[in-house]
Chain A
Amino acid sequence: MQEEKRQLRILVVEDEAKVARALKEGLEREKYEVVVAPTGEEGFFLVNEQEFDLIILDLMLPGRDGLEVLATLRKRGLQTPVLILTARDAVEDRVQGLDQGADDYLVKPFAFPELLARVRARLRRGRMEQPHLLNLNLADLEMNVLTRNASRDGKHLDLTAREFELLEYLLRYKGEVVSREMLAHSVWKEAVRATPLDNIIDVHINRLRRKVDEPFDRKLIHTVRGVGFVLREES
C-alpha cells in the first residue's frame, strides 16, 4: 500500500456535540485529520480559511441552514466533496441536497461503518482500489471474481450466487466492519432495510460461515455485536 503523502483533512459541520465528538474520534482513528465546526457560520468561515479534502455537513444547523451553506459554497466555486447528514426523511430533501451540490448523503441515525465506507469512497484512497481487483484474498482464502471461483486452503468452496457476492463484499472490505445496512444496500440492492431482510442476511452469513469457516481451524468471519460483520485474521 502506498505511503500517505499527507493526512487527509475532513471538516465536520455538526451542532450536536455528542455526534460531533463521536465522528471526530471515529475518523481520527482512521488517520484522518478532523476539524469540527458547531455552526454553519463557523463551517463557512473555516472552508474559506483552510483547505479540506471532504466536508461532512449536517443539514439541521442552528442559524444558517446546512443547505444554504452548501449552496453558497458551491456558488463560490468550491470543489470539495460534501457528504450530507440529515435527520430529515422526506425524499425531496435529499434530492434538494444533491441538487445543491452534495455528493452523497446519509440519513441519521447512520451506521458508522457505512459513514466510513462513504468517506473512503469520496476520498478514493488506498483501499478503495480494491473494488477493481479481480483476485481477492485473505490468508488462505482466495477468490477470483471473473471465474467466480472461491477456495480456501486450495479447496474449492461451493457457494451459491448470493453467498459468493456476500463473501466478495466482505473480502473487498476485509479488516473493516461491514454493517447490515451496507449489505442490504450493496449485496441485496434493497433501498429500505425492511424487517425480514436482517434475518435473511443473518441466515446467509451463517451458511457462509458453515462453508468458509467450519471446516477450518482459523475462523475468518466474525460478528461484531450490534454493529455488523468483519472478515479478518484474528491475531
Chain B
Amino acid sequence: MRPRNVRSRLTVWYVLVLAGLLALYAGVASVFLLLNLREDFDRNLVKDVEIVEGMLAKEPSGGVSLHASRPDASEPRIGNFIEVWSPQGALLYRSAALQGQSMGGPPLQDEGLEDPSPSTTRLPNGTRIRVASSVYFVEDQPVLLRVAYSEERLWGELGEFGEVLLLGFPVAILLAGFGGYALARKALSPIDSMATQAKKISAERLGDRLSIENPEDELGRLGTVLNDMLGRLQAAFDQLRRFTADASHELRTPLTAMRSVGEVALQDHRGPEEYRDVIGSMLEEVDRLTRLSESLLTLSRGDAGHVPLRKEHVSLLELAKGAVASVEVLAEEKHQQIEVQGDESLLVSADRLILRQAIINLLDNAIKYSSTESRVLVRVEGAANGEVCLEVIDQGTGIPSEHQPYVFDRFYRVDKARTREWGGAGLGLSITHWAVEAHEGKISLESEEGRGSTFRISLPAAQRSSTSSPQGGLD
C-alpha cells in the first residue's frame, strides 16, 4: 500500500534507504573482521608449522615422532591438531587432540610444496579448522606435515559481532524512522500552512496573500510564485467585475429609455402620429442594444479565437487611406481635416477588413473627441526593430493619465455621462485592441490632457517579396 501523504512517503523512503545502508555496512564490517582475524590466525599457524617442523624426529623404526620432552606438555603450546604423513600415504603421526579424526585424508598431489597457505576445512565431527600444510625432510625422508587450529572461537567472535549489529539494527531503524518523520514534518509544515491560507482565499477575498517566511528557500519561492499568480487572478477578476458592472450599465440605459418612453406613452390616449414616434424612439434603443450585442459577440469570438484571419500582404498606408476615406465625411461635418502621411511601401501581413475596422475605430475616436476645425494626423512609418507603426494623432481633449490604463477595457468610458450622446457603446477601442493583438501587434496610447492623444499601432513588418494587392477601400 502506498502511503497517502508526502510525509509518510518520505519517512518510508528514508527508513528503507537507511536499512539498506546499515545492512551493507554490517556485511562489509563482518567480512573485514573475518579477514582480519584470519590474518592473525594464519600468521600464528605458519609460525607453528615451523616450530613443529623443528620438533620432528626420525625414529629408529623408520617412523616419525614429535620430539618432545614431555609429550603431554608439548601440545597446548603449539597447534591443537597435527598430522604427519609419508608421501606414500601412510599416517606417521596424529596428535591426540584430533581424537582419531583425519584432517583431509592422505596427502594430495603437490600438497605442501608451495608456501604453507592455510585453508579452511571441517573435521568429520563438524569442527571448522584452519589447516596449513608443509613438506619437510626428516633426515632425507620427506614427510607431509599438517598443522591446524580450530576456527570455532573465531566464528564465535564473528557471531557475537553479528548479534550486536542485529540487536542494534531495529533500534537504529526505529530511531531513524521517528527522526525522519519529525524532520519531514517540520520541513513540510510551511506547505500545510500555505494550504490552510490558500483555502481561505476565495474569489471574494483575492486580495489576501500567502505569508512567506523565507523568500529565498524553495518553499518561499513557491509561495512567491503562488502570490504572483494570485495577483494576476485578482487583476483578471477585477477586470471582469468592472466589465460586468459596465456592461449591465450599458444594457440598463437603453432598457430604461424604452421602458419609460413606453410607459409614459400608455398613460393617456394619443394620436397615431405620437404613437408612431414613441415606437420609433423605442426602436432606436433596440437598435442600440442590437449593435451592442453584435460588438460583444465580435469580441467574445475574438477571445475564443473563432475569428479566422485572412492574412495577405497589405500596404499599411493604403489601408489607412481607405479607412480615412470611409470616415472623412464625419470629419467634414465638424470641419476637421484628416491628413495622411507615410511610406506606401511598408507592408504588413493582415486581414484587410479587420485591420481596417481597427483603424476606423481609432479615427472615429479621434474625430469624436476633437473640437471643430482641428486636425487629425495619420502617420505610417517603419521602426528600427522591424515593425511598422501607424499613429493617429489628434488635437482633442486628451485622456487624463488615471484613465489611460483602462481605455482599451470593454465599456470603459473616460466620462460616462458625456460620451453617450455619440451613440458608441465603449467597445470601439476594445475591438481595435483585440484586432491589433490578433495581428501580433501592440497598441499604445500617449496622451496629455488638453493637448490631444496619440494612438500608436505597431505591427510586425511583412516580407517585401510580394506586391500589395489593390486596395478595396470605400470612399
Q: Which positions in A face B, CB cutoff 8 Å?
A: 89-91, 109, 160-162, 180, 188-196, 198-200, 203-204, 207, 224-227
Q: Which chain B residues border A90 with CB–CB below 8 Å?
A: 301, 306
Q: How far is the CB of B367 from chain A (nearest CB, A)?
A: 8
Whether the pair B297, A89 counts as a contact (CB closer than 8 A) is yes
Closest-by-CB residue of A relative to B287 is A226
Whether the pair A193, B291 counts as a contact (CB closer than 8 A) is yes
Q: How far is the CB of A73 from chain B (nearest CB, A)?
A: 29
In Å, the complex CA distance between A121 and B427 comes to 34
Whether the pair B474, A226 counts as a contact (CB closer than 8 A) is no
In Å, the complex CA distance between A203 and B283 comes to 20
Say yes or no for B330: interface residue by CB 8 A criterion.
yes
The 4 closest A-B CB pairs, nearest first, are A226-B283, A225-B280, A226-B280, A196-B364
Selected from B276, B283, B295, the residue in CB contact (under 8 A) with A195 is B295
Q: Which chain B residues border A161 with CB–CB below 8 Å?
A: 475
Q: Given A189-B474, A226-B286, do A195 and B329 touch, yes or no (CB 8 Å)?
A: no
**6 further A-B pairs in the complex, CB-CB below 8 A; given A192-B294, A193-B294, A226-B283:** A90-B306, A189-B474, A194-B428, A203-B333, A204-B329, A225-B280
Whether the pair B284, A200 counts as a contact (CB closer than 8 A) is no
Return the CB mask of B278-306 against A: 1 if under 8 Å, else 0. Answer: 01111110110011001101100100001
Q: Which chain B residues border A203 with CB–CB below 8 Å?
A: 329-330, 332-333
A-B contact pairs, 11 of them (CB 8 A): A90-B301, A109-B286, A109-B290, A161-B475, A191-B353, A195-B291, A195-B361, A196-B360, A203-B333, A204-B329, A225-B283
In Å, the complex CA distance between A107 and B357 comes to 21
Q: Given A191-B353, A192-B298, A194-B360, do A200 and B280 touch, yes or no (CB 8 Å)?
A: no
Closest-by-CB residue of A relative to B363 is A196
Residues of B in contact (CB 8 Å), total 38
Q: Which chain B residues border A196 with CB–CB below 8 Å?
A: 326-327, 330, 360-361, 363-364, 428
The number of inter-chain residue pairs (CB within 8 angstroms) is 75
In Å, the complex CA distance between A190 and B329 comes to 17
Say yes or no for B423: interface residue by CB 8 A criterion.
yes
Q: How far is the CB of A197 from chain B (nearest CB, A)?
A: 8
In Å, the complex CA distance between A195 and B361 comes to 8
In Å, the complex CA distance between A158 and B159 comes to 123
Q: Given A193-B294, A200-B327, do A224 and B280 touch, yes or no (CB 8 Å)?
A: yes
Say yes or no for B378: interface residue by CB 8 A criterion.
no
In Å, the complex CA distance between A203 and B427 comes to 22
Say yes or no for B425: interface residue by CB 8 A criterion.
yes
In Å, the complex CA distance between A70 and B283 comes to 32
In Å, the complex CA distance between A225 and B277 comes to 7
Q: How far is the CB of B61 from chain A (nearest CB, A)?
A: 121
Q: Which chain A residues border B27 with CB–CB below 8 Å?
A: none
Residues of chain B from 220 to 277 with CB closer than 8 A to chain A in the complex = 276-277
Q: How far is the CB of A45 from chain B (nearest CB, A)?
A: 33
Q: Which chain A residues border B475 with CB–CB below 8 Å?
A: 160-162
Q: How far is the CB of B387 from chain A (nearest CB, A)?
A: 26
Q: Which chain A residues border B282 with CB–CB below 8 Å?
A: 226
Q: How far is the CB of A55 from chain B (nearest CB, A)?
A: 25
Q: Which chain B residues border A226 with CB–CB below 8 Å?
A: 279-284, 286-287
In Å, the complex CA distance between A225 and B276 comes to 8
Q: How far is the CB of A63 from chain B (nearest CB, A)?
A: 27
Say yes or no for B424: interface residue by CB 8 A criterion.
yes
Whether the pair B333, A195 counts as a contact (CB closer than 8 A) is no
In Å, the complex CA distance between A194 and B298 comes to 10
Whether the pair B424, A195 counts as a contact (CB closer than 8 A) is yes
In Å, the complex CA distance between A137 and B377 comes to 42
Q: Which chain B residues border A91 with CB–CB below 8 Å?
A: 306
In Å, the complex CA distance between A188 and B325 comes to 12
Selected from A109, A191, A204, A227, the residue in CB contact (under 8 A) with B280 is A227
Whether the pair A225, B281 counts as a contact (CB closer than 8 A) is yes
Closest-by-CB residue of B relative to A203 is B329
Whether the pair A194, B361 counts as a contact (CB closer than 8 A) is yes
Q: How far is the CB of B351 from chain A (nearest CB, A)?
A: 12
In Å, the complex CA distance between A192 and B295 comes to 9
Selected from B281, B283, B330, B425, the residue in CB contact (under 8 A) with A200 is B330
Q: Which chain B residues border A204 with CB–CB below 8 Å?
A: 329
In Å, the complex CA distance between A196 and B357 comes to 10
Whether the pair B423, A198 counts as a contact (CB closer than 8 A) is yes
In Å, the complex CA distance between A203 and B361 comes to 17
In Å, the complex CA distance between A226 and B289 comes to 12
Q: Which chain B residues border A207 with CB–CB below 8 Å?
A: 329
Q: How far is the CB of B369 from chain A (nearest CB, A)?
A: 13
Q: How far is the CB of A27 from chain B (nearest CB, A)?
A: 19
In Å, the complex CA distance between A227 and B284 comes to 8
Closest-by-CB residue of B relative to A201 is B329
Q: How far is the CB of A164 from chain B (nearest CB, A)?
A: 11
Q: Which chain A residues border B326 with CB–CB below 8 Å?
A: 196, 200
Q: Which chain A residues border B357 with CB–CB below 8 Å?
A: 192, 194
In Å, the complex CA distance between A3 and B360 comes to 48
Q: How far is the CB of A5 from chain B (nearest CB, A)?
A: 34
Q: Which chain A residues border B425 with CB–CB below 8 Å?
A: 195
Closest-by-CB residue of B relative to A198 is B423
Closest-by-CB residue of B relative to A90 is B306
Q: Given A188-B474, A224-B280, do A195 and B423 touch, yes or no (CB 8 Å)?
A: yes
In Å, the complex CA distance between A93 and B290 comes to 20
Selected from B284, B287, B330, B353, the residue in CB contact (under 8 A) with A199 is B330
